[in-house]
Structure 1
Amino acid sequence: MQFTFRETTPSDEDFLNLAAELSSELRALTQDSGESSFQADSFSVASDICLVVYQHEKAVACGSFRKHDSETCELKRMYSKHRGAGSYLINLLESYAVNKGYKRSVLSTRKINDSAVCFYERHGYSEISAYGKYVHTNKSVCLGKSLAT
């Protein structure tokens, strides 16, 4: 499968459209769109990244990371609507993270979202202690991975 990608910002039309699809799917699955966990206005070009993946010039996946701490980034708004695009995307995000100096990647997803949990586990993520706003909820699972440096 041939994919291309573009580095962009959270205000990019393709990113916004894919993120809206993600929100709709999450709302149907979990009764929560996940939008409250991603503040586009806090995006920093210096420490964060936002990517859109294309197949035949059609946007098929999006994702981003933001600075969690000096050595850790947090994956956000990961969404793929084409088989293989998610794996392509997560590999790109991890490569960008290493290039920005991050040594670890973390994320949170809803436990009920089995496909997402399995996807991340297949890509080397494992359960970690809850962090931030996820500490006092039993609906989410936090996952993490050391990045190759």
Structure 2
Amino acid sequence: MEEDMVSFNSVSLFVVNLLYHEPNNVTIGLGGIGLGAAVALYYASSYTTGVVNINLQFIIGINGWLPAWRNLESITNHYGSTSFAPSLPILLTHGNSDNIVPFQVGNRSAEILRMAGFPVIFIENEGDHYPIIPQVIDDVRSWLTTYFPV
């Protein structure tokens, strides 16, 4: 699968510019569904290798994938876990009958992120790519409250 890295880099730069001036007391997380999840995960891999410097607290990806996963896998194989990875928790959920982003791609993305040192929770859900089922929303809410109790 060819990936449009110029666009991913462009969107990541847009995210950096959007979040750069947020005050230090603001909790910053990224998340998305499908392509939005891919952008968030790509941003996470850029963040942990020092390419971007916004202080993220979490990443959530629903039915997405890690773009340029071979690059992150190569960095991990050569240098071990990236320095910022352990400080960035990631929640990935994926429908087990997703016909747009196959479940195996989401699962493999979680494995690569774990190898890079990220604390990743991967949750398999019943269903397809869309619509997002209530169980996914409950999983996200539950996961968030473990890191950011209300």
Pair in the same fold by TM > 0.5? no
Q: Which TM-score applies when normalising by structure 2?
A: 0.31
Q: Which TM-score applies when normalising by structure 1?
A: 0.31
More helix by share: 2
More strand by share: 1
